[in-house]
Structure 1
């Protein structure tokens, strides 16, 4: 297939990767890189390994009008041509910006590092926003944006907190009052500069934009900022529904949480309305299962590379009868060394010694924890998993109340 054939039809994923590789080769000095089909990414070789995940680029490329596709691809390729960072903090300060990213991104890079030999040191610089998201620093230019690591901060002679204060000042200067009303009391930020989600960190902006009540915000993807009032249930329901749709359509997940302001600080919060709380819980369960699926793939590849025989349990979803919600489930099997995700339900599986059918008992998470918590070794990863090598005592399992839908 020729180069221009890609602009006449939707390329296959492998065909798109081939196009990207050829474009990288035409952009300047050759950079050693290779394509990995299963994770759908391009890996640049070298001491500081760089990853270009192709999912978002492929989605945006295929969705764009054919005449715009080359422009879309060039925008993504510009992001991997990262120039060297300034040598001093004084040179960098005017270009520093805060960014909010999903914890899953950092965990993905950490697991990737564990697969390399020798294993590179991972020295991230971040501040926790909540259980799902992190605040990082970015060096922003017209051509590219790159996150700042701890080694760079040390070279500049500043702490993360000092650099973040400067970045926050820069963000405020770049934040005019720019919102669009979507109906039902739902507002969306319209800055379109890659830092829409970062505006969550500006409590004064939230209050100015909120028409009565306390501001509630969601930042489902990197380019989205959704706001509704705590007094407006319809706006909150619309916000959760739109966040769900954006996370499906756009990728680049940031957080499925709903945020508010408490004592001047941004915190994750629970809606007070039952219908909103149920819709939000459904979204969060589905996104967590998505992250567990990505994590399982990385753990499986890591275990294969180091020869470790451990089962990475799947986070499965099902919908109970007469319910609009979803419930997560994982299996804990006797005799199987397992990395167990934290799910609503745990299927406790006892294989038959003679090779017959297994016996399965469904337990709510808190019941599984009550009879086997001492067997669960928490693993440092996001979303959290537990290493379980043994199985609860049969009598304790028999006495535990089963999960009832």
Structure 2
């Protein structure tokens, strides 16, 4: 009999939550713990400490039968050490201050999406990094990490910049050798801080690679680095990143290029044999971000009684392998458009229903000819509010992109 068999009739998520509740009781938890099915969280009523169970369950399901008990024990350790009190001064805490790298959508989509009452969001601080990533300071403990809040930094009388610089110093001292497969360097030390090592620009610049360094952080426990001019290294990077993305601590499917000390999103140039593979991974990640964002925005609309047309972030791949992302600009009503490669203008008939495709144009061209009808929204991933439909003259100037209609 499996561990879940005792909870037949419930969903796998419910069964996992009940398993943890039983183990918490056995472990000595005396306070009331509430299970929120919608957000898939456990919350300790006494201090409103909230734990999202998605990662723990994913790790549990991925583990072998022999290792599943260890996953439970790590969760229990994390739960009970959450009551840990930080050192009163930065001087006492400094050796255990580190930094974590996450996909930016974790802070701006995933946390708000879980639940409005999710305590993890209270006072949480982070800094945008490399456009689509984010970095946040943490306090390192033997079996878990504790996110640092604005209140923690205030108590230590330190700025976010200062604490991140301290964290980078600590991380540099922890960073020794890495594995090397040809010209692909693999940081996978098992300390759960490998992705954050991309912040160590001086270390990355010392790696012997052909051309500018290219990095990927598919999950928290892996950093891949090679050179933009080494096709073998890039090929190996794609293969390892695809495997590494299937992980409960997933971060990003985007590749980044280091130039003048700064990382920025990167794709191989047009015609490169690996461009499609890198582009496909990036688009798949963007699609997931936009899907979760749309879910969040619709929930907020429902709560406020609002109504908005959220244009879907879509993609298609032609026979030539080229990937094009697109979204629909509707002919009537207010709409919210994701940032895409192409915009499809769907005209409306007298009844307000979609009637025909009036134009299809690249995003830059749309901004140039119809930018006065677009307003950037304050959100990530990027969205633009449109209130009106372009007139016939603008639509005629935009035209229909050459690739539309081709097989």
Q: If the length of structure 1 is used for normalisation, what is the TM-score?
A: 0.86
Instruction: Select which of 359, 384, 387 maps to 1:386.
Output: 384
Query: Whole-Å Cα distance in 2 between the matches of residues 158 and 96 of structure 1?
Result: 12
Deviation of residue 128 (structure 1)?
2.8
Deviation of residue 250 (structure 1)?
1.1
Relative to 1, partners in 2 of residues 1:156 and 1:194: Cα closer, same or farther, differing over 3 Å? Answer: same
Gaps of 5+ in 2: none
Deviation of residue 200 (structure 1)?
0.9
The question of 1:302 aligning with 2:290 is answered: no
RMSD: 3.3
Relative to 1, partners in 2 of residues 1:210 and 1:379: Cα closer, same or farther, differing over 3 Å? Answer: same
Residue 108 of structure 2 is matched in structure 1 by 107
Relative to 1, partners in 2 of residues 1:398 and 1:207: Cα closer, same or farther, differing over 3 Å? Answer: closer
Q: Which residues of 2 match residues 207-356 of structure 1 at below 5 A?
A: 207-211=205-209, 213-247=211-245, 249-271=246-268, 274-320=272-318, 322-354=319-351
Query: Whole-Å Cα distance in 2 between the matches of residues 161 and 323 of structure 1?
Result: 46
Residue 140 of structure 1 is matched in structure 2 by 140
Deviations 1:291-316 (A, max 9, x none): 10111111111211222111222212
Deviations 1:159-213 (A, max 9, x none): 12221222112111111113242xx532311311010111112233324443555
Gaps of 5+ in 1: none
Give the stretch that moved more between structures: 238-247 or 150-159: 238-247
Query: Whole-Å Cα distance in 2 between the matches of residues 50 and 373 of structure 1?
Result: 45
Residue 396 of structure 2 is matched in structure 1 by 398
Query: Whole-Å Cα distance in 1 between the matches of residues 47 and 345 of structure 2?
Result: 43
Relative to 1, partners in 2 of residues 1:355 and 1:109: Cα closer, same or farther, differing over 3 Å? Answer: closer
Relative to 1, partners in 2 of residues 1:112 and 1:190: Cα closer, same or farther, differing over 3 Å? Answer: closer
Residue 163 of structure 2 is matched in structure 1 by 163
Q: If the length of structure 2 is used for normalisation, what is the TM-score?
A: 0.85
Relative to 1, partners in 2 of residues 1:124 and 1:377: Cα closer, same or farther, differing over 3 Å? Answer: farther
Residue 98 of structure 2 is matched in structure 1 by 97
Residue 13 of structure 1 is matched in structure 2 by 13
